[in-house]
Chains A and B, each alone.
Chain A
Amino acid sequence: MMDKQQLQEFIAKRVAQELQEGSLVNLGIGLPTLVPNFLPEGREVIFQSENGFIGLGPVPAEDQIDPCISNAGGMPVTIMPGGSFFDSSLSFGIIRGGHVDVTVLGALQVAENGDIASYMIPGKLVPGMGGSMDLLSGAKKVIVAMEHTAKGAQKLLHRCTLPISAVNAVDLIVTEMGVIEVSHEGFVLMEQNPDFSLEEIQAATGAPLIISAELKQIA
Chain B
Amino acid sequence: MSKLISLKDAVDLVRDGDTIMVGGFLAVGTPERLIDALVEKGVKNLTLICNDTGFIDRGVGKMVVAKMFKKIMTSHIGTNRESGRQMLEGETEIVLIPQGTLIEQIRAGGFGLGGILTKTGLGTEVETGKQVIEIEGERYLLEKPLRANVALLFAEKADEKGNLTYHGATRNFNPCMAAAADIVIAEAQQVVKVGDICPDDVVVPFIFIDHIVDGGAL
> CB within 8 Å of B: which residues of A?
49-53, 66-70, 72-74, 79, 85-89, 92, 95-96, 119-120, 123, 125-134, 137-138, 163-167
Contacts and interface: CB of A to CB of B under 8 A. Distances in A.
**Considering the complex of A and B, which 8 residue pairs feature the smallest CB-CB distances, nearest first?**
A127-B78, A68-B168, A92-B100, A134-B100, A74-B26, A167-B123, A133-B98, A128-B76
19 contacts: A51-B172, A67-B218, A69-B168, A79-B168, A85-B166, A85-B171, A87-B176, A88-B51, A92-B100, A96-B100, A127-B76, A128-B75, A131-B99, A131-B100, A133-B98, A137-B119, A137-B122, A166-B124, A167-B123
Nearest to A75: B26
Contacts of A126: 77-78, 84, 87-88, 94, 96
A138 B28 CA distance: 25
B26 A70 contact: yes
A107 to B, nearest CB: 14
B120 A96 contact: yes
Nearest to A164: B124
B99 A127 contact: no
A107 B101 CA distance: 21
Interface of B: 25-29, 51-52, 74-79, 84, 87-88, 94, 96, 98-101, 103-104, 107, 118-126, 156, 166-176, 203, 218
Contact of B104 (A49, A66, A89): A89
Contacts of B169: 49, 51-53, 68-70, 85
Nearest to A128: B76
Contacts of A132: 98
Given A86-B171, A89-B107, A128 B122 contact: no
B103 A92 contact: yes
B85 to A, nearest CB: 10
A36 B123 CA distance: 32
Contacts of A89: 103-104, 107, 175-176
Given A85-B168, A130-B52, A138-B120, A70 B99 contact: no
A144 to B, nearest CB: 16
Contacts of A119: 96
Contact of A129 (B94, B98, B122): B98
Contacts of A67: 28, 218
A51 B123 contact: no
A128 B78 contact: yes
B77 A127 contact: yes
A69 B94 CA distance: 28
Which residue, B104, B169, B170, B175, has most C-beta atoms of chain A within 10 A?
B169
A164 to B, nearest CB: 5
